[in-house]
């Protein structure tokens, strides 16, 4: 069995001072990920290779009368494909007043695209968030 996972991320950010106390910044990250299992090959536990689920083999093995043939795992590799794209974006501004109080406003966008959904169906999503807050420096 061979399992391979890889993810590549490109990240860029910019910060700019509009005025001495007023800043703006932005950040973007783009990720592409892949992963999968290959060469998954289990031989059947039974000479004929035709075992069924919950096969009664008490005559062969009285301690474990119902066995599951591991050869059924061979189809699992088709469920192992991981293929996604992700974008994380933010932009924000901050203003620092003379008395140590700062005003901040940020926007965030998170986008996840599940290119090859399988077990839990499509996990793709988009989330947006707007956050404002007041800070105090002393």
* Spatial distance between the Cα atoms of 42 and 1, rounded to a whole number of angstroms: 9
Residue 72 CB coordination number (10 Å): 13
pTM of the model: 0.67
Question: Positive or negative CA dihedral for 84, 124, 39, 78?
Answer: negative
As a dihedral over the C-alpha atoms of residue 135, residue 104, residue 85, residue 37, rounded to 10 degrees, the angle is 0
Task: For residue 53, name the pLDDT band (cuts at 50, 70, 90).
Answer: low
Cβ neighbours for 54, distance < 8 A, ≥ 6 positions apart: 66, 68
Instruction: List, for residues 97-130, the tens digit of each pLDDT value.
Output: 988 899 999 999 999 998 876 666 777 899 999 9
């Amino acid at each position: 069995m061979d399992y391979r996972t890889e993810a590549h991320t490109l990240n860029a950010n910019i910060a700019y001072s509009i005025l001495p106390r007023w800043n703006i910044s932005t950040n973007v990250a783009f990720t592409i990920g892949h992963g999968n299992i290959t060469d998954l090959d289990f031989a059947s536990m039974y000479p004929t290779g035709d075992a069924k689920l919950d096969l009664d083999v008490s005559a062969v093995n009285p301690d474990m009368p119902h066995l599951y043939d591991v050869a059924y795992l061979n189809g699992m590799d088709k469920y192992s494909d991981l293929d996604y794209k992700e974008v994380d974006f933010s932009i924000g501004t901050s203003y620092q007043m003379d008395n140590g109080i700062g005003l901040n406003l940020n926007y965030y966008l998170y986008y996840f695209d599940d290119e090859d959904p399988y077990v839990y169906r499509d996990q793709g999503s988009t989330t947006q968030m707007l956050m404002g807050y007041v800070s105090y420096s002393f």
